[in-house]
Amino acid sequence: MNDKIVVDLNADLGESFGQFKIGNDDALLNIVTSANVACGFHGGDPEVMASTFASAKKKGVAIGAHPGFPDLWGFGRRVMPFSHDEIERIISYQIGAAQALARYAGHRISYVKTHGALGNMFERDPAVATSILNAVERTAPELPLMAISRSHLERLGRERGMTILSEIFADRAYTEDGKLVPRSEDGAVLHDPVFAAERMVRMVKAGAVETRTGKMLPAWIDTICVHGDNPESLDVARKVREALEAEGVQLQSRF
């Protein structure tokens, strides 16, 4: 590789709440460069948020607000019947909570990334994408926004002149039109760390997303996500980082 490629590696963290433990946050914070922290609606609570922000600060990891639907039972992965205006307000509410607790923990929120069903909806629905953009512009216009590469949110955000970080996924499969395979389908979530790492190297070097049949579709790639709630998350994150660094890719936060 002649030109140095720089990419961020992020994970969805801080999703435990009350007595319920989800993920391996401390170990993942030693690998990733950015952490998307749940804001209390699909996961997380004030105690978890504050401790996750403090740990990220100590380890030099950037943090982002990770708002989702108010759906603890469904982990934010169920579509809920909110209006577009209501979506704006539930996102704004969670951004505010994240900013307050980050400040309390001595860190700062550096970006916004929506979670689960709310995140998947903006990939296919421009009206939901517009609601997310409106919420960030009205609540925290200084913050960049992570958007799934090749999504409506990515396109509309760039058209508005907002700072958009285009995201691909290490542990999710892609359809032939470059969308995420729905979790309801077999093979949507990838569990083999070696395969995930090899695929990430191909995608980053090509500047493309790789579909289930191996087709490469051109895509912006600023950041790679590993989901923190999967049993293989730690191994996937570690293998992805090792494989990219072995190819000369520099892993660092974009903030």
How confident is the prediction along the chain (255 residues), in pLDDT tens digits per residue?
Answer: 457 999 999 999 999 999 999 999 999 999 999 999 999 999 999 999 999 999 999 999 999 999 999 999 999 999 999 999 999 999 999 999 999 999 999 999 999 999 999 989 998 899 999 999 999 999 999 999 999 999 999 999 999 999 999 999 999 999 999 999 999 999 999 999 999 999 999 999 999 999 999 999 999 999 999 987 878 899 999 999 999 999 999 999 988
Does any domain span residue 11?
yes
Does any domain span residue 97?
yes
Could you tell me the CATH number of the domain that includes residue 17?
3.20.20.370
Give residue 214's domain range: 6-251
Residue 238: what pLDDT?
97
Q: Is 82 helix (H, G, I), strand (E, B) or coil?
A: coil
Does any domain span residue 127?
yes
Residue 191: what pLDDT?
92
- Both tokens of 57, joined, read 């600060």
Residue 72: what pLDDT?
95
Residue 2: what pLDDT?
54
Q: Which residue type, as a one-letter code, is found at position 5?
A: I
Count CB-CB contacts under 10 A for residue 183: 12
> Exposed (0-12), middle (13-18) or buried (19+): which is 164, by Cβ within 10 Å?
buried
Does any domain span residue 1?
no
- Which residues are registered as beta bridge partners of 20? 17
How many domains is the chain partitioned into structurally? 1
Does any domain span residue 39?
yes
Cα–chain-centroid distance for residue 234?
A: 16
Residue 1: what pLDDT?
43
The conformation of residue 6, written as its DSSP 8-state character, comes to: E
Residue 168: what pLDDT?
98
Q: Which of 104, 92, 105, 101 is nearest to 143 (CA)?
A: 92
Rounded-to-integer distance, Cα 60 and Cα 97, Å? 21
Q: Which residue type, as a one-letter code, is found at position 106?
A: G
Phi, psi of 252 (to 5 degrees): -160, 155
Cβ atoms 239, 197 nearer than 8 A? yes
Does any domain span residue 129?
yes
Q: Please state whether beta strands 208-210 and 216-218 pair in parallel, antiparallel, or not at all (unpaired).
A: antiparallel
Rounded-to-integer distance, Cα 81 and Cα 184, Å? 19
Q: How far is CA 161 from CA 57, 164, 208, in A?
A: 29, 9, 23
Cβ atoms 10, 148 nearer than 8 A? no
Ramachandran region of residue 23, left (φ > 0), alpha (ψ -120 to 50) or beta? left
Q: Which residue type, as a one-letter code, is found at position 80?
A: M
pTM: 0.96
